[in-house]
A and B are shown apart, each in its own frame.
Chain A
Amino acid sequence: MTIMAQPPTGGGGGSAAGALYDVIELILDRGLVIDVFVRVSLVGIEVLTIDARVVVASIDTYLRFAEACGRLDLTGGRQPVGLPAIVGQITEDSAERKVRGALTGASRAIADTIHDIVTPDGRGSH
């Protein structure tokens, strides 16, 4: 996580520098593009982003997976992680904290307040 307590300057060891690795594809591939402006060439930069599926679907990967499975020790009554049930609970919990609906309501309340200020005697068409 990046924390901007002290804005680092230049290329020093600030938080942005420390966290750069995990946001580099956003810096290079997201953000506003304006047609009439030019962008610097990205030739020469290490390409970090790839289509992961291409890597998965290859003979080398199949052999590597088979070998990795062969090395696993599955003795000792291992239980599945059981993620579906656990994540279902987390998602329910998250939905209770939901902001989408709540904020829409808050925005509407603010809009109503502004509306009331603008038309204090209720001439507006509520």
Chain B
Amino acid sequence: MARYVYCFTDAGHPLPLDDLRGVGADGTVLRAIRHEGLAAVVSDAPEGLRPKRRDLVAHETVLETLSAAGSVVPMRFGTVAPDDDAVVAELARGAGRYTELLTRLAGHVERNVKGAHQEDSLLADLLTDNPELRARNEALRAAGGGSQPDQVAFGERIALAVEQRRTRDAAYVVAALRPLAMLDRHAPSVEGCFVNVSFLVPSAAQDDFDAVVAQLRTAMEGYAELRVSGPLPPYSFVDAVEATV
């Protein structure tokens, strides 16, 4: 029978599985498949599994709970093994790598930071900062908006300036938080956000991380907002063995 796989842990993980339910309409029962020093947390794979909100929440809840209790290597959503033997075979095949990864990730959490500009405030700031753009804006306004080609040409200049600001402000956020993280990774681009970045933060450094986030929020108040998630399972750092920590 097919198994939905949530994560790998080491055998010493407390694995508080009794109060958790996995993906599927009725909330599947979780159990551990053990092999030597490692364990895989699995449930039966429901027929016709699709990424419904209910299942995404179940996946996330299992991983958040287990990563709060010990080191985990999280699977991507929707990972299904054909049977228990295939899970054991993978634990055996990758034992060295998974053990090292669990050791590297132990005591760390993922924190994700998204930043979104408040558009009117960003545009006003660009025009205030750039006399030429401001003069062109005033000329267009004086001409009742100007011709469409003039508007397009002006808008293109603004778009370029916006893109430069997005790049600049993303670099600011990363530079300010990077000292408090062991690793950082750009997360997938998300609509409306100038930055989406994840940091691998030592659990003990989270207060410092939050303090710097608070400073950034104050500095950007009225101009951009930062949305911070975590502590999360280390989704973005399952390559941490290859990376230099």
Q: Please list the residues of chain A having a beta carbon within 8 angstroms of any beta carbon in chain B.
A: 1-2, 4, 7-11, 14-17, 19-20, 22-34, 36-42, 44-45, 48-53, 55-57, 59, 61-70, 72, 74, 78-81, 83-84, 86-87, 90-91, 93-95, 97-100, 103
B79 x A45 contact (CB < 8 A):
no
A66 to B153, alpha carbons, bound, how many Å? 9
The reply to whether A48 and B191 contact each other, CB–CB distance below 8 Å, is yes
10 closest cross-chain pairs (CB), A and B? A62-B155, A40-B78, A31-B76, A66-B155, A30-B235, A11-B54, A65-B158, A98-B179, A66-B151, A16-B61
Give min CB distance, B183 to chain A, whole Å.
9
One of B90, B181, B228, B233 near A37 (C-beta < 8 A):
B90
Among residues of A, the one whose C-beta sits closest to the C-beta of B211 is A97
Where the two chains meet, the residues of B that have a C-beta atom closer than 8 Å to any C-beta of A are: 5, 8, 16, 19-21, 27, 49-51, 53-54, 56-61, 64-65, 68, 73-82, 86, 89-90, 110, 112, 114, 119-121, 123-125, 127-129, 134, 137, 140-141, 145, 148, 151-156, 158-159, 162-163, 166, 169, 172, 175-182, 187-194, 196, 198, 201-202, 205, 208, 211-212, 215-216, 219-220, 222-223, 227-233, 235-236, 238
Best-buried of A15, A23, A28, A33 by chain B (most CB within 10 Å): A23
Partner of B120 from A59, A63, A68, A87 at Cβ < 8 Å = A68
Residues on B with beta carbons closer than 8 Å to the beta carbon of A62: 151-156, 158-159
- Please give, as numbers and ranges, the residues of chain A lying within 8 Å of B120 by CB-CB distance: 68, 72
